[in-house]
């Protein structure tokens, strides 16, 4: 019973292409992983861009707020200047009124002085001096009023300029807010694309894992293929040695499979192999290793149990197969792991135990 190599045609059912398809799936899985990694990088880049856009939007909002404050201050300054100009206008009007009153008083003094020169020349001279002083003060007042009106006009011009600048600041603030809103919308779209990329990346990785798992399984029985099983057995051996746990390897051979194929066809033989695999999975634990070693051979690895416990479980397999449609059976050889064993070592001793048991029973 030389073991078949992984990927050869078994029972004439054309499954010899499984290894090739598995390799192709592995390459496809690697490509998907690379694509997924690229999508993750693109997603991170989009997130960074989105964060920068949010930051730019916040900065624009701050700048807009600053412009609004500056515009309000300019409006307040313009209002202050308008109030100051109005006060200057009122002061100029008051001076003009006072000057007019002084002019009237000076004129009256002049008339009095001219009408009574002989009687009061000294009083006339005094009146004239007072009148001249009043006219001088009146002229000064009018000049001051004119200056006040000039300053008031300048203040009004400055206030108008401030209000214009305030309006421009508010326009710029509105533009900044619109830009910030556009940046935030772009940021939201970037994050949506990043999320879609991550979902696609996760789906790709899931598909990649599923394809690898499918490529590692025997298409007929659902057990692991030989090359995958040997790799997993090496891992089980390393774990058992590391954790100082027992490990029992069972070499399982399907009895009379060739005769069943010859007498009832390969479909019946395939059904028997499926029944054996199902019975092994039912009687062993979900985490125990089962792989198809050859055409009619399976290898199982059971950790933490004794050889007697494993033998008891596998005896139940024969009970289940006896009740199956084709009333099959298996012969099992067991070997416990030794400290220096490799996978091939312990499988070889389990195979030898099977041969010894079968030879003891006589010819098949």
Query: pLDDT tens digit string along 285-331?
Result: 999 999 999 999 999 999 999 999 999 999 999 999 998 877 899 99
Residue 210 pLDDT more than 90? no
**Alpha-carbon distance 9 to 26, whole Å?**
20
**92-133: per-residue pLDDT in tens?**
777 777 777 777 776 777 666 666 555 556 666 776 787 778
| Residue 8 Ramachandran class (φ > 0 left, ψ -120 to 50 alpha, else beta) | beta
Give the model's confidence band at 22: pLDDT under 50 very low, under 70 low, under 90 confident, else very high.
low
**Alpha-carbon distance 30 to 334, whole Å?**
38
Residue 7 pLDDT more than 50? no
CB atoms within 10 A of CB 100: 13
CB atoms within 10 A of CB 154: 12
Residue 151 pLDDT more than 60? yes
Residue 260 pLDDT more than 80? yes
Q: Using an 8 Å Cβ cutoff, are 219 and 213 in contact? A: no
Q: Which of 127-136, 190-199, 285-294, 339-348 has the lowest mean pLDDT?
A: 127-136
| pLDDT at 6 (0 to 100) | 37
Q: Using alpha carbons, list the distances in angstroms from residue 44 to 36, 39, 187, 210, 293.
A: 12, 9, 13, 26, 45
Residue 262 pLDDT more than 90? yes
Read off the DSSP letter of residue 225: P
pLDDT, the chain, mean:
83
Residue 363 pLDDT more than 70? no
- b/e for 299-309, b at 16 or more Cβ within 10 A? bbbbbebebee
Burial class (CB in 10 A: 0-12, 13-18, 19+), 355: middle
Q: Using an 8 Å Cβ cutoff, are 44 and 197 in contact? A: no
| pLDDT at 13 (0 to 100) | 39
CB atoms within 10 A of CB 183: 20
């Amino acid at each position: 019973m030389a073991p078949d190599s992984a990927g050869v045609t078994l029972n004439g059912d054309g499954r010899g292409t499984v290894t090739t398809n598995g390799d192709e799936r592995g390459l496809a899985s690697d490509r998907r992983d690379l694509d997924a990694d690229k999508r993750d990088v693109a997603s991170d880049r989009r997130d960074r861009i989105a964060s920068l856009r949010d930051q730019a939007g916040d900065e624009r909002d701050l700048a807009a707020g600053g412009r609004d404050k500056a515009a309000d201050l300019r409006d307040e300054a313009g209002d202050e200047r308008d109030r100051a100009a109005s006060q200057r206008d009122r002061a100029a009007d008051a001076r003009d009124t006072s000057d007019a009153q002084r002019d009237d008083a000076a004129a009256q003094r002049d008339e009095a002085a001219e009408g009574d020169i002989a009687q009061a020349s000294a009083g006339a001279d005094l009146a004239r001096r007072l009148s001249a002083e009043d006219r001088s003060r009146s002229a000064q007042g009018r000049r001051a009023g004119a200056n006040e009106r000039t300053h008031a006009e300048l203040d009004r011009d400055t206030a108008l300029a401030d209000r214009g600048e305030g309006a421009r600041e508010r326009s710029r603030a509105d533009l900044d807010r619109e830009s910030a809103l556009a940046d935030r919308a772009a940021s939201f779209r970037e994050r949506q694309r990043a999320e879609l990329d991550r979902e696609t990346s996760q789906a790709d990785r899931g598909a990649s894992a599923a394809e690898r798992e499918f490529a590692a399984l025997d298409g007929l029985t659902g057990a692991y293929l030989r090359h995958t099983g040997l790799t997993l057995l090496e891992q089980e051996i390393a774990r058992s040695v590391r954790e100082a746990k027992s490990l029992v390897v069972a070499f399982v051979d399907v009895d009379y499979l060739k005769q069943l194929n010859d007498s009832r066809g390969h479909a019946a033989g395939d059904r028997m192999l499926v029944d054996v695999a199902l019975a092994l999975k039912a009687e062993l634990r979900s985490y125990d290793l089962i792989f198809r070693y050859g055409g009619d051979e399976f290898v199982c690895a059971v950790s933490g149990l004794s050889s007697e416990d494993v033998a008891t479980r596998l005896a139940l397999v024969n009970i289940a197969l006896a009740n199956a449609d084709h009333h099959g059976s298996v012969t099992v050889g067991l070997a416990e792991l030794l400290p220096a064993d490799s996978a091939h070592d312990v499988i070889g001793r389990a195979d030898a135990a099977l041969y010894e048991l079968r030879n003891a029973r006589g010819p098949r």
